[in-house]
Amino acid sequence: MNPANQPADVIANLSNSALRVRLAEIDSEIEKLQARVHHALDAIIYPILSLPVEITSEIFKQHLIQFFGSPSEADVLPFVDLARARDGGPLLLSHVCRAWRSIALNMPSLWSRVRVSSSETDPSDWQELLQCWLARAGNQSLDLDLTGGLDQNQTARLFSTVAPYSFQWRSFQCYWTNPVSIPNEIIRGRIPCLYELRLWIKRDDVGPGKPEIPIITAFSDAPALRKVELSYLAPKSVSLPWAQLTHLDLYGQAIDQAIQVLHQTPNLERLSTDLRTGRALHGVQPTPVVLGHVHELSLSNVFDNVTKYLPYFTVPGLKTLNVDSIFYDGHLNAAALLSMLTRSRCSLETVSMLCIYDFAITALAAMDKVRQVDLQPADWSSSRLAQFFSRLASDSKFLPNIRSLRIWNCGAIIPYTELVRMLAARFYNRRADEGKLESFHLIRDSGEVDPIPSAEVEDQLRGLRNAGLDIHIKRLNKRKLKISYQDFD
């Protein structure tokens, strides 16, 4: 009789040697049973594991985009925030199973964009995780975002972790809560691939009575550097290869210092500057600058300082102008802007504006070569929107060459009568020397619910679409007491 199958009362009378024999037999049976179970599990093919590696890799990328991304990063792998790294992203994917771990560890792009964003947690808590992250990126170019608000000690400790990988840096962003200097010697001369740099400090740390910020020289030798953004950090506080830059964003700068550094950027193609926070001129007036290669100019937070900045700019090659947040004297600010454009003698083609009605009408009336207009109306009423459409319909000299009109983040109820009249006038009734509207997009996102268009309006819109005009209207529609979006088809 098999000792393993003997009754309990019999077992109790077995000798020690007999009990050891039984235990050995039970262990053997357990091992055989485990082997059979593992064999059965290995024979199961889970559908997700049968996918080609290329498809699984794409699923991983889409997971990162959905978990860490934003609408502006719809087609780009986003930064992975280490503060959330255990909740989603490549770290979580690599712990699902052996197959997924192998795929994740063999996708260096998943580990190549990393952000340290918490200002409340000591970066040393993440040093081990950050080191693991950077190692798994392999030879991939790195995008680093240290935006947690770092003091001098934290900055030094994080730099000691990321500095060994400086030869792979493609972009680098850093924000300080105090005006301290980067440990310059750690990376200077060791960033051959750095293409984009963003440096920010707190606004409260600059200005009269504040300590002088030590000059940052860490990025002075960066042969691939082309894009730079400085926020409240004066250009004089950073040693950079200004002459090779093609993109420059300046926020919170004194006007004289901003103009001074622009004289050192002969190859600049895109300039963005914040006109609200720029501090006024003191002492000697700066020498006006001609930005010969700038084809795109962005003026953000435009308030009363627009009349202080723009007289110093001449942009003869300007093609694209982006302006937002003009809420004060629309005619005055428009005059300052148009004076700059007249002086530049540029052929403006694309205009994007977040603006009040007076500014839009005044500025656009002088832009006779513009082909594309993007408007974000600032507190436009439905009647103002109707006036704008009526001007386009009745005045052939107002934006005579417009081909594309996009109105987004609109809060005003759509005036359908004026809209269809404008579309018909700009699509059908055009002379050979006038532009013909090819695209019209109107995106509602707030405000009162739109009325349902009449059958006549819908027929007219449908006829225009069938004739070739690209029309996309997203209106606010009330259904079952809930506001939802509805596209016009």
Quick one: pLDDT at residue 481? Answer: 33
Nearest in space to 369 (alpha carbons), one of 320, 322, 402, 345: 402
Integer CA distances (angstroms), 217 to 182, 186, 377, in order: 8, 11, 43
Strand partners, 229: 198, 249
Provide Rg for the chain, Cα atoms.
32
End-to-end CA distance of the chain: 83
Tokens of residue 396, six digits? 């052939």
Instruction: Supply angle C-alpha 11, 12, 13, rounded to 5.
Output: 90
Task: Evaluate whether 293 touches 270 at the Cβ level (below 8 Å).
Answer: no
Quick one: pLDDT at residue 83? Answer: 77
Nearest in space to 372 (alpha carbons), one of 335, 399, 344, 340: 399
Handedness of CA 227, 229, 233, 234 (dihedral sign): positive
Q: Using CA atoms, how far apart are residues 389 and 305, in angstroms rounded to an integer?
A: 31
Phi, psi of 188 (to 5 degrees): -60, 130
- Extract the residue ranges of the chain whose pLDDT is less than 50: 1, 3, 480-486, 489
Integer CA distances (angstroms), 134 to 59, 102, 111, 413, in order: 22, 17, 7, 51
Tokens of residue 398, six digits? 């107002």
Q: Using CA atoms, how far apart are residues 346 and 63, in angstroms rounded to an integer?
A: 45
Q: Using CA atoms, how far apart are residues 61 and 301, in angstroms rounded to an integer?
A: 35
Strand 169-176, strand 80-81: pairing: unpaired
Quick one: pLDDT at residue 472? Answer: 94
pLDDT per residue as tens digits for the range 288-312: 999 999 999 998 876 656 667 788 8
Phi, psi of 397 (to 5 degrees): -90, -5
Quick one: pLDDT at residue 400? Answer: 93
pLDDT per residue as tens digits for the range 135-147: 999 999 999 988 7
Integer CA distances (angstroms), 276 to 159, 251, 271, 282, 444, in order: 33, 9, 16, 17, 28
Instruction: Supply angle C-alpha 379, 382, 386, rounded to 5.
Output: 120
Domain boundaries, the chain: 3-43
